[in-house]
Amino acid sequence: MLKGVAVRTLVHPSETTPADGLLPSAAPLQLIDQDGRPGENPGALHFPPPDVLRELYRRMVLGRRFDAQATALTKQGRLAVYPSSHGQDACQVGAVLALRGQDWLFPTYRDTVALITRGVPAEEGLALLRGEWHCGYDPYKYRVAPQCTPLATNAPHAVGFAHAARLRKQDQVALVLVGDGATSEGDTHEALNFAAVWKAPVVFLVQNNGYAISVPLAKQTAAPSLAAKGIGYGIPSLLIDGNDAAAVYAAVRAGVERGAAGGGPTLIEAITYRIEAHTNADDATRYRASEEVSAWLRRDPITRLEAYLRADGLLDDDAAGRLAAEAERLADDVRQRMNLDVSADPAELFEHVYARPTAALQRQRAELLAELRELAELEEPAT
Amino acid sequence: MSAAASAAGTSTTGTSDSRAAAGPAPVTMAAALNQALADSLAADERVVVFGEDVGTLGGVFRVTDGLAARFGDDRVFDTPLAEAGIVGTAIGMAMNGLVPVVEMQFDAFAYPAFEQVTSHLAKLRNRTRGRLALPVVIRVPFGGGIGGVEHHSDSSEAYYTHTPGLRVVTPGTPGDAYRLLRQAIGCPDPVIFLEPKRRYWSKETTVLTQDGPPIDRAVVRRPGRDVTLIGYGGMVATALEAAEAAAEEGWDVEVIDVRSLSPFDDQTLAESVRRTGRAVIVHEAAGFAGYGAEVAARLTEQCFHHLEAPILRVTGFDIPYPPPHLERFHLPSTDRILDAIARLQWEGSNA
């Protein structure tokens, strides 16, 4: 018998974490269907108020125009690569608008529209894809973590961030975006488990677009749904229509409120589709049929919300026209900013490795600068 | 306690119980580390300590003994058994203003966290142009010599030193263990803190203080004129033993404790080697592409015209770490170090 150690009978988690309410619905929850009518399976989701619906629509229209502009800039060689958000507009806009100012977003490389919606300026949000620097924005200014490119590694960051908020008694929730492929990574599993054990205020939003580059969901998982995995962690989970911006907003908002109230994490799987290829470097015709893409185009998140708003008298031709003009101004602005040359300073390579450059890095910087001076002197007589 | 373990430290007293009322008491490296964690937790409320078994149990090596009881479950806590999750959440906590000090239970058990360490912990300052600092300390008990079964005795330092953005430090004595850990916790950069587990129970009579050499400097543990013997972590005590034995054979050996494996203290090391003209590097890890290769290359570049002989390495063999009954054949010994010293092309010798 150990002195000072309490004798405990083993308590199985099922005695403290009832399974009720952890499983998602079998069919995705929906507030607005693909024709713009009220959805038949709203579950417990709260319908957002009209001003939120209008803002969801506005941000999606702006995001779609931004996305088209970024794709065009990539074809012109202004961006090294661009993973399009087209088709996933409702997920990215709906989720970000559901956050409060003090909350944090942990995005991936496909979430540029989420960044823009959060207020990150285009040139800062595109710095990674432009090849200018890895992360071009100040995470603390916008409360947006650097975009995750290895996938799923942002999930434990979000959990740690949220747990720190609890420990420091700060009212903050972390929203982490992952894709269907990333749910197979160990980091997703570890993050879900840590979040549940710690009751960390985190919302996990899985944008299930059906493919991890080319690998379809059936080769990714045998689970009934990705949301169904939540019960294994003791996390309440929702399966929603990811092309319904109102449903995404409502589900994420509910997760944020639960987290803020001390209820712990929420797992949301949003069913959506990537209309474009993985990136401009990908050929999607090698792994999916054009009929499949056409079918998803009919479920477009913007047209369905527009139909709903017009039917409800929340949008007219004048307002739509003003919004189209605003989107064109945004695209012009992005074009102008991206057509400026990248200002890259080789000396900066050595600046941010440690808080202060080490003696060895200072020597290496001096060597590089001397090399560049010599090159410049060699080139000078010719000009 | 092994004979090697009891020989650690620079000022070991004869008996561990000779506790003078006013003077400093003998302290083990594990106790010194525990004190450093306690003092850091007391000094800075942003410091949190977590990992597997670090709470109620106090860590498998008892380095966190008593801390959860003293500072509470919000400051010192057990985690699920998942190393990537531990480091990944530590990164998130540091982003939100905390100073996490996490424990990897054993060297080889830290490998699941490798991606979080190399792609995120080491790079996020750089990736964000300096906007995101991660003052995280990862404590890793490392090295062999304790009779551990497989995966419990790796020397993993080169994986970390090959990663720009990390600081990698390792103490050789209890007093320095306290100093280096306090300095690591106060450092704005992420620090891999390698604890030589075979020296956890080595004692030194010393006052525990942060004062002394800064985090990025090597120290001369024993001055000498003939050879610079370079070691770190668990090999510092072995190097000091070898220096004693070498003295009997007429070699005056200078022993340098590297302490900061990255960044490397070129100045202290090069100054010594220029003075002695000969150098031997000793580490437990495999020699091929090991840490000693970098040390030998740097010192050759900086000291070539002062060298009387090639710089030699005494290392573990290029094999996976052996089972307990065979580890003594693998680990660098004082004999092997003396053999290397003898091969340094002394005048009149044929080596």
| CATH number assigned to the domain comprising residue A73 | 3.40.50.970
CA distance B37 to chain A (A): 19
Residues of A in contact with B184 (CB under 8 A): none
Position B282 in a domain:
yes
* B231 and B197 in a common domain: no
What average pLDDT does this structure show over A136-158? 97
Separation CA A264–CA B281 (nearest Å): 52
CATH number of the domain that residue B239 is part of: 3.40.50.920
Which tokens is B300 given? 């050759």
For residue A123, give the amino acid letter. E
Instruction: Reply yes or no on whether the pLDDT at A78 is more than 80.
Output: yes
**B263: nearest CB among A165, A172, A358:** A358
Using CA atoms, how far residue A255 sits from A17, A76, A98, A178, A249, in Å, is: 18, 41, 9, 16, 10
For residue B6, name the pLDDT band (cuts at 50, 70, 90): very low
Is residue A7 in some structural domain?
Answer: no
Q: How would you list the strands of the sheet with B137-142, edge to edge?
A: B76-78, B47-51, B99-103, B137-142, B191-196, B167-169, B260-262
DSSP code, position B119: I
Q: How far apart are CA B277 and CA B38, in angstroms?
A: 43
For A224-251, give the DSSP string: S-SGGGGGGTT--EEEEETT-HHHHHHH
For the stretch A308-335, pLDDT in tens is: 999 999 999 999 999 999 999 999 999 9
Residue B11 has pLDDT above 70, yes or no: no
pLDDT reported for residue B140: 98
Shared-domain flag, residues B200 and B250: no
Per-residue confidence (pLDDT) for residue A343, from 0 to 100: 78
User: Residue A148 pLDDT more than 60?
Assistant: yes
* Domain limit, last residue, from B182, B205, B228: B205
For A351, which of B92, B96, B130 is closest by C-beta distance?
Answer: B130
Q: Report the mean per-residue pLDDT for chain A.
A: 94
- Percent share of chain B, pLDDT over 90: 91
Classify burial at B113, counting beta carbons within 10 Å of its beta carbon; exposed 0-12, middle 13-18, buried 19 or more. buried
The answer to whether position B210 is within a domain reads no
Using a CB–CB cutoff of 8 Å, tell me whether A152 touches chain B.
no
Using the 3D structure, point to which of B170, B205, B240 is the last residue of a domain: B205
Same-domain pairing of B334 and B290: yes
B233/B194 same-domain check: no
The domain of A357 spans 346-382
- The SS3 of residue B140 is strand
Distance from the Cα of residue B347 to its chain's centroid: 35
**Catalytic, out of A274, A299, A304, A308:** A274
Which two tokens mark A137?
A: 């924005």
| Distance from the A293 Cα atom to the nearest Cα atom in chain B, whole angstroms | 35
Residue range A287-306: mean pLDDT, rounded: 96
Say if the Cβ atoms of B128 and A139 lie within 8 Å.
yes
Looking at the fold, whether B200 and B167 belong to one and the same domain comes out as yes
> In which domain, by residue range, is B311 found?
219-342
Q: Counting one residue from A and one from B, how many pairs have CB atoms under 8 Å apart?
A: 139
Query: Would an 8 Å CB–CB cutoff place B195 in contact with chain A?
Result: no
Contact A339/B at CB under 8 A: no
What is the reported pLDDT for B21?
A: 54
Whether residues A110 and A126 share a domain: the answer is yes
> Does residue A331 sit in the same domain as residue A357?
no
B173 and B44 fall within a common domain: yes
- Contact at 8 Å (CB) between B255 and B341? no
d(CA A248, CA A267): 12
Higher pLDDT, B319 or B17: B319
> What is the mean pLDDT of the segment spanning A36-56?
97
Mean pLDDT over the full length of chain B = 93
Do B128 and B41 belong together in one domain?
yes
**Same domain assignment for residues A76 and A195:** yes
Q: How many residues does chain A have?
A: 383
Please name the residues in contact with A47: beta carbons below 8 A apart, sequence gap of 6 or more.
A31, A246, A250
Residue B350 within a domain: no
- CA–CA distance from A358 to each of A350, B25, B165, B265 (Å)? 9, 37, 10, 10
Q: What are the tokens at A57?
A: 């629509």
Q: How many domains does chain A have?
A: 2
Does the beta carbon of A360 lie under 8 angstroms from any beta carbon of chain B? yes
The H or E element spanning position B295 is helix B291-303
Whether pLDDT at A1 is above 80: no
Q: What is the pLDDT of residues B267-314, one digit of tens each?
A: 999 999 999 999 999 999 999 999 999 999 999 999 999 999 999 999
Query: Are B22 and B94 within one domain?
Result: yes
Which residues 6+ apart lie within 8 Å of A345 measured at CB? none
Which residues of chain B have a CB within 8 Å of the CB of A159?
Answer: 85, 88-89, 92
Report yes or no: B164 at the A interface, CB cutoff 8 Å.
yes
Q: How far is CA B318 from the centre of its chain?
A: 21
Question: Collapsing DSSP states into helix, strand and coil, what is residue B152?
Answer: coil
Counting the structural domains of chain B, the total is 2
Task: Please name the residue of chain A whose CA is at the shortest distance from the CA of residue B98.
Answer: A164
Q: Which of A339, A357, A373 is the last residue of a domain?
A: A339
pLDDT of res. A149: 95
Tell me what percent of the residues of chain B surpass a pLDDT of 70: 93
The DSSP code sequence of A299-332 is: T-HHHHHHHHHHHTTS--HHHHHHHHHHHHHHHH
Q: Are residues A275 and A368 in the same domain?
A: no
- With cut-offs at 50, 70 and 90, classify the pLDDT of residue A268: very high
* Strand, helix or coil for residue B166: coil
Q: Would you call B152 a catalytic residue per the annotation?
A: yes
How far apart CA A45 and CA A239 sit, in angstroms, is 11
Residues B286 and B258 in one domain: yes
List for chain B the helix, strand, coil content (%; round to 5).
40, 20, 45
Residue A8 lies in a domain: no
Question: Is the domain of B178 the same as that of B274?
Answer: no
Kindly report the nearest CA distance between residue A308 and chain B, in angstroms: 40
Q: pLDDT tens for residues B208-264?
A: 999 999 999 999 999 999 999 999 999 999 999 999 999 999 999 999 999 999 999
Query: Do B196 and B51 have their domain in common?
Result: yes
Predicted confidence (pLDDT) at residue B10 exceeds the cutoff of 70: no
pLDDT computed for residue B22 by the predictor: 62
Model confidence band, residue B12 (pLDDT cutoffs 50, 70, 90) = very low
